[in-house]
Every structure is written in structure tokens, then in C-alpha cells.
Amino acid sequence: MLKIFKLRSYRDWFSSLPAFLLLLTVIIAGNGELIHARLLHVGELLWQDYFTLRADIPTPACNPEPNIAAELSKLEAESSGQNELEGLFDSEPFDRQATLISLQKSRLLCQEKHHLAQQNQARITPAVTLFRTLETSVAGISLFAFAQQRLLLILMIFICAFTCTYEHHHIAFKPIITRQDHIISTLAQLMGNVTLLFSAWFYRNSIYQSSTTVDHPEIYLLLIIGFAILSAISVLQLIKPRHFHKNSSSILHAMLAIPLYIYMEFFVSLYFFLIEAHWAGPVIFFSLLFDQAGLFLNIGLYIWVGMLLKRTQLGDLVFKVFIPWRMSPELLAVVAIIVMAVPTAYTGASGIIIIAMGAIVYEELRHAGARRQLALAVTAMTGSAGVVLRPCLLVVLIAALNKEVVTDQLFSWGLKVFMTTVCIFFIFALLTKREKLHIAPIKEAFKPFLRALIPLLPYALIVLSIYLAYYYLLNVKMDEFSAPVILPVMILALIIYEKLFVRMVLVASPEKDAHKFEYTIRKATSESTVHIGALLLLMGLSFALGGVIERSGLLSNIPDSFASVWVTLCFLIVVLVAIGMIMDPFGAVVLVSGSVAQIAYNNGINPVHFWMITLVAFELGYLTPPVALNHLLTRQMVGHEETSKAEQEGDTFWYRHEKILLPLVTMGSTLLLVAIVPVLFA
């Protein structure tokens, strides 16, 4: 045991292991819920009216053989006594015959209750007892985990945020590469976290001083502890800074290393403290995350799945399928956009899929000969086309918040929008190609293509087997609700397969024990913690920023009607892109549903049309400087060195800035077409 402890770092024990246990708990709870639903169905098939047998059946308290004559005399005497006391009031005489009939009916009803109880008690066989013990145990685990979702989420946020802060891995405009970057970024984080600490303290006090019942009191305490530890980490980093080899940069340039969530926090705090004098405001809106705890726990699962997938050979094998066709980089980029739309549709946000699989996409495009700028552009917009496809959770949230639309309508339009985006990307890739588009002849490529598919067959069989097991054993399809708990099972099964059956010499891998299952899980979890912490903190402050926009009345000052539908569309595009630039998609949908959507409806914009515009506008916002969140996430996954090398490439303005320009013109053109064409043909 001591040897094992020495082989693990403090980060493994105090960050990766707790994060792994939290993720595993979410997976077990989610699968437990699916299993429990199936067990109830099986119980009903095996034993009629199983729901009655789920608990011990008590013997009815009534007497099945009462002395009716004695009861009748007693009731008659009581009636006579009441009549003497109530002589001043008119009362009906005691009806002996009606009372007798009532007592007889009561006896029959009691006897039926006893008979039914005896029958059901006799039906509780050892098999029923064993089955219901299993079923109720699974139900208890699922219900307990569901009740603790808020606690699981806050633990996940702060455990991962501690690691992210300690490793200097927050989402920022530039990484920390100089001592001045470190000092300014850390001071800003210290100020921001201390501000959130005091806000959490005031929030807790205001809750306890109010007359309302305090639900989940542990959340308020953990918020205080979490922000206190984040502040302490920043103090420690200021006292003992790391050694930096780079020369110091200017103060303005160093300020770009301040995490994006800290900028949001400063803006939110200035509004609540100076304008509203509402000290608890920032943390109140940050805490809106916990109202959708299950959703944000699923985001953590998706990131973990991506890090696990990164450590398998699957991504490499999928892209090797296209090698025999000898596609030009632009054609392969189109293929990558199409392929990555599928996982995006399940995760529900392009930022999540970049964190989960961005590194795989970039590496495979580079291996296929794509220039750095093109590979970065494709990676940044990897999931931008897929957010409109079934079964995207973002679309489901839109339908849940807006009665004017249903998911079938949105997904039907979404498929058309997706095809439009792919076609436009292909056109711009064709216009900006550096060499003639080429693809190998079918006669030459088809047989190698088939041979390249063979290594993928075991993976496909494993995935299909697990899918069929869920479908036939648990009656569960893999949709936006079940995917978060099914996908980890599939990926873990693929990793087990590789470790047991795939004979691969890891010559190129400098990592010791890279072939071991435990090592793969530990390293993938370690990578996941920093990304989960960075993204969830950013999402929490995005909710707070949305609260500022809502409370400030900024959107309420917008006129209810415009001169024409074209003016309305221009206004909506500007506002929605701006919202997409500063907020995460889930928080942005909540904000738009309560404000901008009604303005669109009042001005004659079809609700389905409006939400298609909204989704594309959000994606354009995530790709638009100065924030360009998807580009920040891409740099975080690919690495600062690669992005720096890309900046040195290119002999014209377009090729020097292709990573920014190609996504902008693609999504911008898609947005214009999605906004204008339906109105022209309405």
C-alpha cells in the first residue's frame, strides 16, 4: 500500500481520485435509474399488481366479525342521549333499519380488506421478497443520488476548479507564460475569488435571516469554503511563484492572461455592489447552476468521455479510413465537420465537444497534411454545425422553455441548416484552397478503404452490443437524456478491449505504464479535472452575467415593434451574436427565452425560424473576436506552441488569419441565409 501511495502524486489522491468517484457516482446513479424503471416493468410482468407487493402488506385494523346487534344498540343509545341534549333542535329519529344495513356493509367491506390482505400476503413468496429487495435497493440508490445532485455538482465544480487554478489552466485570452502574466493573473483571481467569497457569506446570512425554510444548507457553506480555498491557492501562488523563462510583457498584454470568468465576475460585482448595493447578487445568480444540476453533471461526464476517447485508438482509426482516398486537406476538413456533428448533437454544445475531442481532430488533420491555420479553423468550428441536429440537448431546452415550438419542428429545420452550413464551408474551402482538390480513384482506394475498416469492426461490435443490451434489456434508446450515462460505459468497454486484445507497441509514447487500464483512466481523469473546472466556473459566471443583463432592464428598453421584418432581423442578429460572444449556450437560451424571443414573435418572426437564427447566431458569437470562446478552447486543447506556430505561417492576409476568417465567413454566411431565405419564400 505504501508503495502504491508513493507512485501517486498528491494531485492524483486529492483531485483525480475524488473527481473520478464523483463521475462514477453520476454514472451509477443514472444507470441505476434506467435499471430501476426496467425492474418495475419486469416485476409487473412477473406478478400482477406488483406495485402492491413492493412493501409489507399490513393486516387491516377493522374487525371482520363484529357483533352487529351490540353495535346497533350502542349507536341507538348514543342517538337517544344526543336527542335529550339537543331537544331544542329538530332532529330526525334514529333509523334502526338503515343503521343495520350500514353496519352490514361495513362488515362486508372489512372482510374484503382482510381477504385481499391475506391473498397479497400469501403472494409474497421468497422470490418476490428477493426481487423487491433488489428493486427497492436500486430505487434507493437512484433516489439518494438524485437528491444529492446539487451536492455532487458543487463538489465537482470546486474540486476541479482547485486543480484548474493551481495548474494555471483557466480559459483566458492567452496562457501564463511570463512572471508578469502570473502576477497580474493571480492577483486578479485573488480579488475575484475574495469578492465571490464575501458574496457567498452575505448570501448565506440573508438566507438564514429570512423566514423561509432553508433547503440544502450545505450548499451555502460549501460555496464559502470553495471560494475561500480558491483565494488561498492564489495567495500561495503569489508567495511561491513558479519559475518562468520568458521575458516579462507589457501590463496590457499581461492582462490577457486573466481568466475570462474573472472578467465576468468583475463586471457582475460592479453592477450588484455599486448600482444595486446587493452584496449577495453575484453568488445568487451563480447558484442558478444548481437548479439544473443534472445537466451540468452531464457536461462533466461528456468532457471525461472525450478525455477517455482521446486515449484510445478510435480517433486515429476513423481518420485512417480516409487515408486511402488521398483527399486534399480541404476535403478532409469537410469530412471532419460532418463526422464531428454526431457527437456534438449528443453533447449539445460546440464548446464541450472541442474540449472533449478537439485535440483528436487537430492531430488527425495535421497528420493528413492540413496546414495549421486550416486545422485550427476546423477544430474551432468542429461542433458548430451539429448543435441543430437530433437529439441536441440545447434544442430540447428551447422546446421546454417555449411552448411555441416543439422538438420535431426544430430538428426538421435543423437538418436543413446543417446541410447549408456544410455546403457553405465546402464552397469557402474550395475558394481558398492552396492546391487542386484531389481524391484517389475508386479502383485504387476501395480495397485499402475496406482493409482500413477491419480494425474498426471490433469497436463497432462492442458499441452495437452495448446499445442493443440497453435497448432490449432496459428498453432504453440512446438519446439526449440517456447518452451521458451510456457513452461512458461504451468508452470504458473500448478501453478494456484495447488493453486486453489489441497488441500495440507504444514506442512513441514516453508515458510509463501507458498500456495499463488504471493508468489510462487516471490520466484521462486528471486531464478532465482542469477542463471541467474551467468550463463550469465560466458557465456559473455566465449565468450571473445573464442576471445582470436581465435586472439592468437593458433588454426591456428594446421597442416591442419595428418598422419592418428586415429591421427586426438585423436587430435580432446583432443582439443574438453579441449574447453568444459573452455567454454559454445554456444560460443564453434561458435569457433569450424570457426576453428577445417575445420581441421576435411580436414582429411576425416564425418561432421555429427565430430559434434557428438564434442557434446559428450563438455559434457565430462563439467564433467572433475579441472573446471567440471556441478559439480559446481550441488553443487550450491544442496547446500554445501550436497556435504560436500557426501565427507565423501564411503569405497573405487570409492565410495568416484563416483560423479566424474561415469560421467567420462560414457561419456568417449561414446566418444570413437562415435569416433571409425563409422570409423571402414565406
pTM of the model: 0.86
The answer to whether residues 294 and 149 touch, using CB atoms and an 8 Å cutoff, is yes
For residues 205 and 201, what is the distance between their CA atoms, to the nearest angstrom?
Answer: 6
Question: Is residue 536 assigned to a domain?
Answer: yes
Q: What cell does 475 get?
A: 428498453
Q: Would you tell me how many other CB atoms lie within 10 Å of the CB of residue 548? A: 21
Question: pLDDT tens digit string along 53-71?
Answer: 887 788 888 888 888 888 8
Total residue length of the chain? 682
Asked if 162 and 254 sit in the same domain, the reply is: yes
Same domain for 97 and 87? yes
Q: Do residues 490 and 608 both lie within one domain? A: yes
In a domain, 36, yes or no: yes
Residue 3 in any domain: the answer is: no
Is residue 679 a contact partner of residue 565, using CB atoms and an 8 Å limit? yes
Within-domain flag for 458: yes
Looking at the structure, tell me whether residues 547 and 413 fall in a common domain: yes
Question: Mapped to the 3 state alphabet, what secondary structure does 486-531 carry?
Answer: HHHHHHHHHHHHHHHHCCCCCCCCCCCCCCCHHHHHHHHHHHHHHH
Structural domain contains residue 288 = no
Contact 629, 353 (CB under 8 A): no
Q: With 60 as the cut, is the pLDDT of residue 19 above it?
A: yes
- For residue 391, the model assigns a pLDDT of 80
Mean pLDDT of 577-590: 88
Lowest mean pLDDT segment, chosen from 70-84, 567-581, 621-635: 70-84
Same domain, 487 and 636: yes
* pLDDT for position 83: 52
Residues 351 and 338 in one domain: yes
Cell of 280: 449577495
The tally of domains found in the chain comes to 4
Q: Give CA separation, 613 vs 14, 52, 435, 631, 676, in Å.
A: 44, 51, 34, 21, 10
- Which residues contact residue 132 at a Cβ distance below 8 angstroms, ignoring those fewer than 6 apart? 43, 53, 54
The string of pLDDT tens digits covering residues 324-377 is 998 988 999 999 999 889 888 877 677 878 887 888 889 888 987 899 999 999
In a domain, residue 322? The reply is yes
Residues 6+ apart with CB under 8 A from 77: none
Per the domain annotation, does 1 fall within a domain?
A: no
In terms of C-beta density within 10 A (0-12 exposed, 13-18 middle, 19 or more buried), how is residue 438 classed?
A: exposed
- 259 and 331 share one domain: no
Tens-digit pLDDT profile for residues 69-79: 888 788 777 77
- The predicted structure's pLDDT at residue 2: 42
On whether residue 4 sits in a domain, the answer given is no
What is the band of 92 on the pLDDT scale with cuts at 50, 70, 90?
A: low
Co-location of 360 and 426 in the same domain: yes
Q: Does residue 103 sit in the same domain as residue 226?
A: no
Nine cell digits for residue 529: 479535472
Q: With beta carbons less than 8 A apart as the criterion, state whether 281 and 199 touch.
A: yes
Clarify whether residues 590 and 661 are in a common domain: yes
DSSP secondary-structure letter at 178?
B
Residue 193: pLDDT over 80: yes
364 shares a domain with 262: no
Which of 254, 279, 304 is the last residue before a domain boundary?
Answer: 279
Could you tell me which residues are beta bridge partners of residue 246?
178
Which tens digits make up the pLDDT trace of 244-296? 767 777 888 899 999 999 999 999 999 999 999 999 999 999 998 898 898 89
Q: For the chain, what is the largest distance between any 2 Cα atoms, rounded to a whole number of angstroms? A: 112
Q: What is the CA radius of gyration of the chain?
A: 31
Q: Which domain holds residue 199?
A: 148-279
Q: Do 632 and 172 meet the contact criterion of CB atoms below 8 Å apart?
A: yes
DSSP assignment of 84-143 equals: HHTTTS--PPP-HHHHHHHHHHHHHHHHHHHHHHHHHHHH--HHHHHHHHHHHHHHHHHH
Both 43 and 86 in one domain: the answer is no
